[in-house]
Amino acid sequence: MAERVTIFEMSPRDGLQNEPVQIAAADKIRLVDLLSACGFARIEVTSFVSPKWVPQMADAAEVLAGIARAEGVSYAALTPNLRGFEAARAAGADEVAIFGSASEGFSARNINCSIAESLERFAPVAEAAGAAGIPLRGYVSCVTDCPYDGPTPPGRVAEVAAALIGLGCYEVSLGDTIGAGMPETVAAMLDAVLEAVPASRLAGHYHDTRGRALENIGVSLDRGLRVFDSSVAGLGGCPYAPGAKGNVATEAVVAMLAMRGFETGIDPRRLAAAAAFANTLRSAA
């Protein structure tokens, strides 16, 4: 039987958060519902962050309330602090995620604190998620390059990933936030992280700015990673990562994995329908 690779669909959150024109909650709900029919086990729906920082996600509770929940799908939300966690919990998020950085420059711009302070802020979120029985995921951003600090030392990524696991994250997603990672730098980063965290608890989250994301997934597969984050139609970007393009396109990842003999459980026809709709949500469309 073909080995399974899990795709964590990011488009409603990472895909849309950077769109300059406010997208109607009804359209976000429609996107999530189309994605729910594709066979994903996990979909990141929204984030409970400050609406001043990311206005596009201000309708987080409305979107979570409006989706038609498919059986077997975990609907996830980003929660930077306890306030975000409580709101996500009240809105019925099935899992939540804390998001840190391996570079100080990005941590300061993205969540307004140092890496050490972020881990302190995450601790009560992790505790509350544990007490509520809500699975907690962690992100490390800028795993190879930072738009403010330049190249990221691999050992720093390993430290932050290990700290997130220590807080209780079931999995840590390694983010090439600006899509500047090359197969060589991703390999060096993974080799360092794998000394601290096993592949079974890691995911690859690659943006495709330089068109190397599929190769970076290949390097990650070779090292045993079996979970990847992607967005239909390659939607995305981060408001605090200038120049960052979208996540690698889910359609491309599904096709590449099939060619390499992995099974994803994603229906390509339904995926194409979701991607076509996602494309209509781009402000440039």
Q: How far is the CB of 273 from ligand HMG (least distance, A)?
A: 25
By C-beta, is 150 or 265 nearer to ligand HMG? 150
Label residue 131 exposed, middle or buried (CB < 10 Å: 0-12, 13-18, 19+).
Answer: exposed
Structure tokens, 80: 């930077």
Asked if 19 touches Mg ion (CB under 5 A), the answer is no
Which among 139, 163, 125 has a CA at the least distance from the CA of 44? 139
By C-beta, is 92 or 265 nearer to ligand HMG? 92
Q: Which spans of this chain sit near ligand HMG (rule: CB under 6 A)?
A: 14, 17, 47-50, 52-54, 78, 80-81, 83-84, 99, 110-112, 139, 141, 175, 177, 205, 238, 240
**Binding partner of 167, given Mg ion, ligand HMG, none, CB within 5-8 angstroms per partner class:** none
Which among 201, 205, 216, 209 has a CA at the least distance from the CA of 167? 201
Active site residue 169: no
By C-beta, is 124 or 242 nearer to Mg ion? 242
Asked if 14 touches Mg ion (CB under 5 A), the answer is yes
Q: How far is the CB of 37 from ligand HMG (least distance, A)?
A: 24
Q: How far is the CB of 261 from Mg ion (least distance, A)?
A: 27
By C-beta, is 142 or 257 nearer to ligand HMG? 142
By C-beta, is 29 or 54 nearer to ligand HMG? 54
- CA pair distance 200, 150, nearest whole angstrom: 29
- CA pair distance 17, 99, nearest whole angstrom: 15
- CA pair distance 36, 73, nearest whole angstrom: 7
Asked if 145 touches Mg ion (CB under 5 A), the answer is no
What is the identity of the amino acid at 217?
I
**Binding partner of 114, given Mg ion, ligand HMG, none, CB within 5-8 angstroms per partner class:** none
Give the residue ranges of DSSP H helices in the chain.
25-36, 60-66, 82-90, 104-111, 115-132, 154-167, 183-193, 213-222, 250-259, 268-281
Which among 213, 278, 209 has a CA at the least distance from the CA of 252? 213
Q: Minimal CB distance to Mg ion: which residue?
A: 14
Question: In the beta sheet, which residues pair with residue 9?
Answer: 43, 230
**Binding partner of 50, given ligand HMG, Mg ion, none, CB within 5-8 angstroms per partner class:** ligand HMG
Q: Which residues carry out catalysis?
A: 238
Contacting positions for Mg ion (CB under 5 A): 14
